[in-house]
Each structure stands twice: as structure tokens, then as C-alpha cells.
Structure 1
Amino acid sequence: MSTLKNRVEALVELYRDDVAPIVALGDPVLRQQAEPYDGQLGDELLGEFVELLQRTMRAAPGVGVAAPQVGISLRMAVMEDPAPVPDEVAEARERYPLEFFTAINPSYEAVGRTLRGFYEGCLSMPGYTAVVNRPLKVDAVYTDVAGERVKRELSGWQARIFQHETDHLSGVVYVDKLEPRSLATAANYANRWADPVPTKAARELGFHLD
């Protein structure tokens, strides 16, 4: 039986100059509790795996990829958001650039009780989007690739990204938390509901918006 390290080595070698395929919703790996990282890969392989995740995320394109999304049940994810949105959208969604980083064994806790609802999607369920009401601010904790434990407060879209990717590592996908009546095809979202804040969508589709 192949070990986790063997599987990562095989994946890295197969896609050394390419991007890994994204696992689609319905694959059991997306519903598992990912294995905590405790050095199973070693520094060199860890670095190569992070590079593969980074290439895959950027090519998608996305703002985050968790290891289970490439078929590896390991508690780590990469995140980055250049935030290429108009100023009006950036202000309404608190979406500002997030520099690339790797989160190993991440966790988060809500700061306060304020929630915000916005449309989000997932690379593992392309073609759809829905509103998720999430904590506006979180205390994020993770280990970086250098082995240092990091604590930082994230707010707005950065907090949303961190929550979304960390949820993946517990077998939770955004569809588990969405407002059901908000679910839309990407085309309908683009044509009807791509406002800075989904107030109109909430009114016309009849869902709760924080």
C-alpha cells in the first residue's frame, strides 16, 4: 500500500512541469479529515509539492488550493489573491491583495459575531456559485514552510479565503454552508447578480444575507 509520501512523490514527478488536475466534488478525498502534517514529506519534497500547488492554483485560476483538491489528504493549502477587481468591489467586499503563502495545519476562530454574505465558488465544483455568510474577521493560525507557527488576524475577503481553504481540510466544501436559494450557474451570476454586494440577489431569490 502506497504511503502518503509515495503518492506526493508520484504526483510531483508526473506534473513536474505542469499543473495537477483538480479533484471534483463527489470524490471521497474531499470529504475526509485530512492527515496532519508532521514532516512526512521532508523539506525538499514539501517545497516541490508547494510549487505544484502554486502552479495549479494560478493556472486554474483560483485564490487558493487545498491539498485534498489534488487528491492528497494532507492538512495544507496555498493561498494568494492579486485582487484584480474595481475599487468599488474591493471596498464593498474588503477584497485587497493577499501575498502568496502556505498554510500547514491551519485553523481559525471567528473574531466577534459579525458575518458577511458574498458569492463564492470552488475549483472542485466549477460552473456554480452561491452566497456563504461567513465571519468577517478570523484569528488564523498555521505553520509556514519554514516550520514557524504563525498567528494573524484576517478580515474581509482574505478571511473568506482562509476559511474556505481550511474547511477543505476537514472535509467541508462551501456548498455545505451556502444559502440554498442563492445557488446559481456562473453564467446567471455574471448576467444577473454580479453586484458588489448581493442585496438584489437576496431580495429576488429569497435568501438570507448577513
Structure 2
Amino acid sequence: MKTNTPPPDYKGYRFPPEIISHAVWLYFRFSLSFRDVEELLAQRRIVVTYETVRQWCFKFGQTYANTLRRRRPRCGDKWHLDEMYLKINGKTHSLWRAVDQDGNVLDILVQSRRNKHAAKRFFRKLLKGLQYIPRVLITDKLKSYGAAKREILPGVEHRQHKGLNNRAENSHQPTRLREKKMRRFKSAKHAQRFLSAFGPIAGQFQPRRHRLSAREYRAILRGRFLVWDEITAVKLIA
């Protein structure tokens, strides 16, 4: 779904959009540190510091992710919700995540609690961003989901069963890998900021490979790279 989104503002940056967008893509698509991206760019004779890469990712990562989210077609009507623990500065936080029946990440929210109020807040964030109501909600047996659902989505079917929610639980695995690579998140704000950009960007380049032939996979990937060039304004400015 295309929208009239203004292109990213690269004014004042010494490097062209091709290099900036490539660095951001490397960082969010693969399990790399800022220093790893610095080294990969150096191999191509592009001399930047890892702090510059960090600034690019913070400045443009969320912008790219928001544009990708706005452009994607409407997701499925069966939502799988789950939460995972994050240890941040010695304190336990919960990462709330929703995916649809096709594995597309709908939204995430980092919160310090797992109670009814936290579940209601996550539901409201989901509904505001997606702007449609699901047909079915699938969760584990955490009582907060049922209490919040009765107030926010009273007419929606709710299935609570541990075995039915594997899709949401499996979607946490990339987060665990990045958390380990980053040696844990520095704050709840840091986790929210990184994961909000990480989900859409990484997901853009991860079609469901096991369901596609090699030819189909390459064709889909080519199309997604064309979309990436468009939203990063590489063709527009180059």
C-alpha cells in the first residue's frame, strides 16, 4: 500500500543516501554491531566511525521502519499476542509483541509490568497503529489479556491456550539473538527504539523462504529491495 510519505531529509550529511541507507540496512538486517558495520564499510573504502553509523541508525532507522509499516498491505485478522522478559539494568521488563497468522510483526511495546493496565495499553497501541479490529485473539493463559480484552475488544473471539501461541513465541527468537549481540539493552527506551525499527526492517527482507521456490524467492527479494531504494530515496536523490 503506497502512501505519499515525504522522503528522508539527508540535508547536511556528507555521505550520499546510498551509503547511509546501506549502513542502516546492514545493522538492522544482520546481527552486527556498529563496529562491525564500520569494518564492512571500510572494506569498500568507505571511512566512517562506528559513532557515525550509530547516529545514522538512530536518525533514519525509525523513519525507514515507519514508512515500511505504512506501505505494507493490511495484515491478517488473527492476532497472536505474547510477552517475553527483558533484563534491563537489573530490573525485569516485559516485551509485548503481536503477530498475525502469517508471522508478520504487528507491533511491540516494552513495559515494566504484565498487569491489566499494561495489556490495555498494548491493545490501544495496536488498534491505533493498525486501525482495524481482529477476528480472533490468541494468547497464553496470562489473565491480564482476558481482563483487558473484555474492556477494549469485547466482541472479539479470544482463545487462550499455550500450544496455540507458538507463532508469537517463535517471533521472539530474533530479539534474543540481538539482545545477546548487544550485551543486553541499556534502558527500556533503548529497547523500544531499537526493536520498533528492527522488526519492520528485518522483516522486509525475510520472506517465508520455506514456502517459496528459488525463483519466487529471488523475485520477491528483488521487489523488496526496490521498495527499500524507494523509501530511502536513493533513486530520487541519486
TM-score under structure 2 length normalisation:
0.24
Bigger fraction of residues in helix = 2
Bigger fraction of residues in strand = 1
TM-score under structure 1 length normalisation:
0.26
Give the structure with higher Rg (CA).
Answer: 2
Which structure has more RCO (C-alpha within 8 Å, separation ≥ 6)? 2
